[in-house]
Amino acid sequence: MLSRQIPEEFNEIRPYTPDELPQVMHELLADEQFVAAVSKVMPDVEANVRGFLASHPEFTTLDVQKTFFYPLVRQIIATCSDGIDLNVPESFAREQPHTFITNHRDIVLDSAFLSFLLVDNQFPTTVEIAIGDNLLIYPWIKKLVRMNKSFIVQRSLSMREMFRASQTMSRYMHFAIAQKRENIWIAQREGRAKDSDDRTQDALLKMMAMGGQGSAADSLRQLHLAPMALSYEFDPCDYLKAVEFQLKRDVEGFVKSKQDDLTNMQTGIFGCKGRIHFEIAPCIDNWLDSLDPQMPKTDFFPLVAQHIDREIHRSYRLFEVNYVAADHLLGGDSHVSHYDDASRNKFECYLSERISLASDNLQSRGVAPDAEFLRERILTMYANPVFNYEKAIASDGARA
């Protein structure tokens, strides 16, 4: 789609179009920071990009993703995980663009893994990605993510500006689904759930409903929301999240720095993730049809959020570490049937290592580490998916 076919109101936030990509790629090659950063994972980046441009007089954004981003993600999976898979319901309409609304674990890789999996599972396209402008630390990062089908969520705004920006973003999402025929990935809340207690924000749903036609239910139906659960066996940033919890507790006015964000991104990408599973739940369109059309919005949005949460929670892939953490946190053995002694011992060693890393990080900042607090925080991160899964399954039984 040529840029002139896209309304100008989206110019500051939308991904680049194919006709804009050659110029952007040349600009990136001229950026020393970009070349230095990317050369670490793609040593011949300049030769590869120039070779691609020379051999592709016309190309799409999907061509760029498959040529450059797909191999990088495949390399990360091979070197930093024990494998990844995706479960798609048999009835899922792959040709219909969807808005995948998911829990959020990794700053960079959640959406990257999803695009990789959609290609491998014969979906016709990947996803356009909602990304906060707070993560666009350098100009080249903003260019790179827009080249990789990202649209920008503007966050550093006044209340009035935020409302207008939310309207624009909602209209863009509806345009991307209906006119561009692109899938969308968006996290169920702003930022990652540091304790893995995944909850959908009502405000996010209200934003998405702004840009459609008809009632709030009609507008959300036009986005074809598909809840999706992302499950990582290990979170490379678990100790950094625990550090952040203690800093927020002990240091008045603590705010993460740009370097903190960069460290989280790098650690998340290159750290060990163990097994990874993505699970698509049914699109909520039919469920929305079952609701009372006269329901007040004050009831409607919380109800939709609860439904999305339940679909995500019941779709988790739970690993042995999750059950061990749950038992350690509860002080019992109610989940012992889900793991053996070897799994428990392995996780206990892992937990000790993560507490040590968190303690070292805090000491480097001049803060005395609270080992017991750090332990509780890390255990909670791994245990909450178990607790939420059990509540969702119990809720299914109660409704039956």
Predicted pLDDT of residue 20: 96
Assess whether pLDDT exceeds 60 at residue 400.
no
CA gap 6, 392 in Å, rounded: 41
Closest CA to 183 of 248, 133, 228, 245: 228
The CA-CA-CA angle for residues 9, 11, 14, to 5°, reads: 110
- How far CA 230 is from CA of 110, 243, 351, in Å, comes to 8, 23, 22
Cα(first)–Cα(last) distance of the chain, in Å? 47
**What average pLDDT does the segment 337-352 reach?**
98
User: Is the four-CA dihedral 37, 42, 46, 52 of positive or negative sign?
Assistant: negative
Which tokens sit at 201?
Answer: 């924000």
Q: Which whole number is the average pLDDT over 221-246? A: 98
Provide the pLDDT for residue 370. 98
Residue 111 has pLDDT above 80, yes or no: yes
Q: What is the distance between the alpha carbons of residues 149 and 301, in angstroms, rounded to a whole number?
A: 28
Radius of gyration of the CA atoms of the chain, in A: 22
As a whole number, the mean pLDDT across the chain is: 95
Beta pairing class for 276-280 and 183-187 = unpaired
Percent of the chain with pLDDT over 70: 98
Tell me what pLDDT residue 156 has: 78
Are 224 and 283 a contacting pair, CB within 8 Å?
A: yes
pLDDT in the model for residue 258: 85
* Model confidence at 243: pLDDT above 80: yes
Return the half-sphere exposure (C-beta side, CA atoms, 13 A cut-off) of residue 22.
11
CB 130 within 8 A of CB 138: no
Asked if 236 and 271 touch (Cβ cutoff 8 Å), the reply is yes
**pLDDT tier at 40 (50, 70, 90 boundaries)?**
confident
pLDDT value at 32 more than 50: yes
User: What average pLDDT does this structure show over 279-293?
Assistant: 96
Confidence of residue 158 (pLDDT cuts 50, 70, 90): confident
Q: What sign does the CA torsion over 283, 286, 289, 295 have? A: negative
Say if residue 205's pLDDT is above 60.
Answer: yes
DSSP 261-294: HHHHHHHHHHS----EEEEEPPPSHHHHHTS-TT
The pairing of strands 84-87 and 150-153 is unpaired
Average pLDDT of the residues in 311-336: 97
What sign for the dihedral angle of Cα 18, 111, 103, 41? negative
C-alpha torsion angle, residues 126, 127, 132, 136 (rounded to 10): 20
Least confident of 1-5, 196-200, 209-213, 243-247: 1-5
Q: What is the pLDDT of residue 2?
A: 59
pLDDT in tens, 82-107: 999 999 999 999 999 999 999 999 98
Domains of the chain: 3-236+271-317 (3.40.1130), 321-399 (no CATH)
Q: What is the mean pLDDT of residues 225-244?
A: 98
Evaluate if residue 120 carries a pLDDT over 80.
Answer: yes
Residue 187, strand partner residues? 102
Distances (CA, A) of 156 to 133, 207, 259: 8, 16, 18
Beta-carbon neighbour count of residue 108 at 10 Å? 18
Residue 3: band (very low, low, confident or very high) from pLDDT cuts 50, 70, 90: low
φ/ψ of residue 398, rounded to 5: -65, -40
One-letter amino acid for residue 383 of the chain: A
Q: In what order do the strands lie in the sheet with 150-153?
A: 84-87, 276-280, 225-232, 99-102, 183-187, 127-132, 150-153
